[in-house]
């Protein structure tokens, strides 16, 4: 069974810092990986989706990389802002009907 | 395109009562999922539908939880009777029935069982 781990569980940084969130998974036979953002009491908002054939995806200040062989993905946030404060979740999708396995998330706090 | 709609947003019930949640997926999305997210944890899949049929309900507590998807569109998730440990956010998501597509989530229903 796929196990997804996110480290650290919580992170607090001053505004303007560049930061990296980590996601690791135990089974490298994945089809894709998706990063989500979750604000308190809200649903999940998709940030980036990386197919297994891709190495990275970029959207604005966000860059996600994928290394299937080592079972790792990173989410890089450039020039962090207080509005980036949220919980970030990664989810990996194996080769069957898009069923995703989630990590427990990294709770990010960006201080003004 | 309209997103995934869920209702209600919040629900407070006493233990042993019953409750139902509703989800309307994005038009054309054949695959629909219900996830349970307990505070501080990642979402856990309860049930996955492909059109009308159940693809995976291995983690659904079938003695108290039930779900259906009428005509391959809307879905309802029911809990009867509720327990304290059912307090969580219940998230509905939908996806195209093709490999490589990601999820779109609804805003969720926060259930508190007292």
CA distance A44 to chain B (A): 6
Contacts of A105 in chain B (CB under 8 A): 42
d(CA A96, CA B92): 19
Non-local (6+) Cβ contacts of A33 within 8 A are A23, A25, A49, A50, A52, A64, A66, A73, A90, A91, A92, A93
Residues B13 and B113: beta-carbon distance below 8 Å: yes
Enumerate the residues of chain A whose CB falls inside 8 A of the CB of residue B104. 46
- Chain-centroid distance, C-alpha A46: 10
Encode chain A (112 residues) as per-residue pLDDT tens digits.
789 999 999 999 999 999 999 999 998 888 889 999 999 878 899 999 998 889 999 999 999 999 999 999 999 999 999 999 999 999 998 776 567 889 999 999 999 9
Q: Report the residue of chain B nearest A105, measured CA to CA.
A: B42
* pLDDT value of position A41: 77
Answer yes or no: do A34 and B103 touch at CB < 8 A.
yes
Report CB contact under 8 Å: B41, A104: yes
Q: Does residue B45 belong to the interface with chain A, where contact is any CB pair within 8 Å?
A: yes
CB-CB under 8 Å, A103 with B100:
no
Residue A47 pLDDT: 95
Q: Could B103 and A41 be called an inter-chain contact, meaning their C-beta atoms sit closer than 8 Å?
A: no
């Amino acid at each position: 069974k796929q196990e997804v781990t996110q480290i650290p569980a919580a992170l607090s940084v001053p505004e303007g810092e560049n930061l990296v969130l980590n996601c690791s998974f135990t089974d490298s036979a994945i089809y894709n990986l998706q990063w989500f953002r979750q604000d308190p009491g809200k649903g999940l908002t998709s940030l980036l989706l990386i197919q297994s054939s891709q190495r990275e995806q970029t959207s604005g200040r966000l860059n996600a990389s994928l290394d299937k062989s080592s079972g790792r993905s990173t989410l890089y946030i450039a020039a962090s802002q207080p509005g980036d404060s949220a919980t970030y979740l990664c989810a990996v999708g194996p080769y069957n009907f898009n069923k995703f396995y989630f990590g427990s998330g990294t709770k990010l706090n960006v201080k003004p | 395109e309209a997103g995934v709609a869920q209702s209600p947003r919040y629900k407070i019930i006493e233990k042993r009562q019953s409750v139902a949640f509703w989800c309307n997926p994005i038009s054309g999305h054949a695959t629909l999922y219900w996830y349970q997210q307990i505070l501080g944890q990642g979402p856990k899949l309860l049930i996955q539908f492909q059109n009308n049929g159940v693809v995976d309900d291995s983690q659904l507590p079938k003695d108290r939880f039930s779900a259906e998807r009428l005509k391959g569109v809307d879905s309802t998730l029911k809990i009867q009777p509720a327990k304290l440990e059912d307090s969580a956010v219940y998230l509905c998501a939908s996806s195209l029935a093709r490999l490589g597509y990601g999820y779109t989530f609804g805003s969720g229903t926060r259930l508190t069982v007292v």
